[in-house]
Amino acid sequence: MFKIFFNQLVKKISLIKFANWLDKWHITRIFQSLSSFLLIITLIGFYFNYKQIKNEQEDRNFTRTLGAWQLITTKAVGNSGKKDALEYLNRKGINLNGINLSVPENEVGTYLANINLENCMLIKANLKKANLDRANLKKANLASSNLEKTYLSNANLEQSILAGANLYKAFLVGANLEYVRALGVNLKKADLLGASLKYSNFAKANFKDADLRYVDLSYTNLSSAILKNAHLYRANLLHVTNFTCKQLKSARAWETTYRDSKLACGKDIPKLSKTPVPDWLKGSM
């Protein structure tokens, strides 16, 4: 019994001596310092690894951006990857002012149907003859752009800027042009059948010979707009502003328009139908 007790005592004394020795040599502090040092080394490693990954990502983005620009500037008919390239650049916040996607008269325009270019900067862009069927151009800036003979059927141009733009002979059947700023826009001979232009500013716009059948122009500013020989059959002109009988009577089928009493201009005003756009037109939109 005494022997067992003695052995335990010796072990205890040995452990105390070992602990004192560790304390004397500051081993615990050394390990603590070493742990801190290793943590710093690890953090530095993480930082440089992060920088490397970030640099590689920036290089890939640069390469992709460069490739997108090359696709856009290469003359080619049809799509040729231009749709994806344009969408990518727009998502990156890169403005597309002045891009030229026009084609010669004898060639098919660039195919960009269903493209999403919301909030895109396209000032002075040349999109002549491009196919932008059902495109999303909401809030896009197309000021002074060339959209001559462009196909924009059922496109969304809500809140876009079209000031000074050229849409000569453009196809805009069923398009959404609500809340648009289009001072001085050229829509001569454009097809706007069933389009909605309400709450917009079309002051000084040129609608000469345009197809405006079943168009909704309610609450739109038509100050000094030219409507000579435009087709206004069943167009909605209720609450238009800065519009005169002289302007109205220069158009065709003006007597069939839905309009305010001040624009009766000597003719009876038809009662607004609950469905002013016929079913056959809705089916084509």
pLDDT digits 0-9 by tens, 160-172 = 999 999 999 999 9
pLDDT (0 to 100) of residue 239: 97
pLDDT band (50, 70, 90) for residue 70: confident
Q: What is the model's pLDDT at position 6?
A: 40
pLDDT of residue 79: 61
130 shares a domain with 37: no
Q: What angle do CA 35, 38, 39 make, to 5 degrees?
A: 85
Q: Do residue 209 and residue 157 come from a single domain?
A: yes
Structure confidence by residue, pLDDT tens digits, 192-233: 999 999 999 999 999 999 999 999 999 999 999 999 999 999
pLDDT, the chain, mean: 84
CB 86 within 8 A of CB 107: no
> Is there a single domain that holds both residue 36 and residue 157?
no
Q: Does position 268 have pLDDT exceeding 60, yes or no?
A: yes
Do 35 and 104 share a domain, yes or no?
no
The rounded percent of the chain whose pLDDT value lies above 90 is 62
- In-domain check, residue 117: yes
Output the domain CATH number for residue 185: 2.160.20.80
CA distance 156 to 274: 24
Neighbours of 122 (CB within 10 A): 26
Same domain, 45 and 93: no
CA distances from 80 to 5, 26, 153, 220, 230 (A): 92, 72, 21, 39, 37
CA 239 to chain CA centroid, Å, is 30
Domain residue limits at 6: 2-55
**Residue 69 located in a structural domain:** no
Structure tokens at 77: 């008919």
DSSP characters for 10-73?
HHHHHHHHHHHHHHHTTHHHHHHHHHHHHHHHHHHHHHHHHHHHHHHHHHHHHHHHHHHHHHHH
Do 274 and 155 fall within a single domain? Answer: yes
Long-range contacts of 212-215 (CB under 8 A, 24+ apart): 212/251, 213/253, 214/276, 214/277, 214/278, 214/281
Same-domain status, 224 and 285: yes
One domain for residues 18 and 140: no
**Count of the separate structural domains present in the chain:** 2
Residue 106 and residue 19 share a domain: no
Looking at the fold, whether 102 and 185 belong to one and the same domain comes out as yes
- Mean of the pLDDT values across residues 124-150? 97
Are residues 50 and 165 located together in one domain of the fold?
no
Q: What is the mean pLDDT of residues 177-198?
A: 98
Structural domain contains residue 260? yes
Residues 143 and 280 in one domain: yes
Within a domain: 67: no
pTM to 2 decimal places: 0.76
Task: Report d(CA 138, CA 130) in Å as an integer.
Answer: 17
- In angstroms, the CA 132 to CA 149 distance is 11
**What pLDDT, in 10s, does the model give residues 80-135?**
788 999 999 999 999 999 999 988 888 888 999 999 999 999 999 999 999 999 99
SS3 196: strand
Residue 66 lies in a domain: no
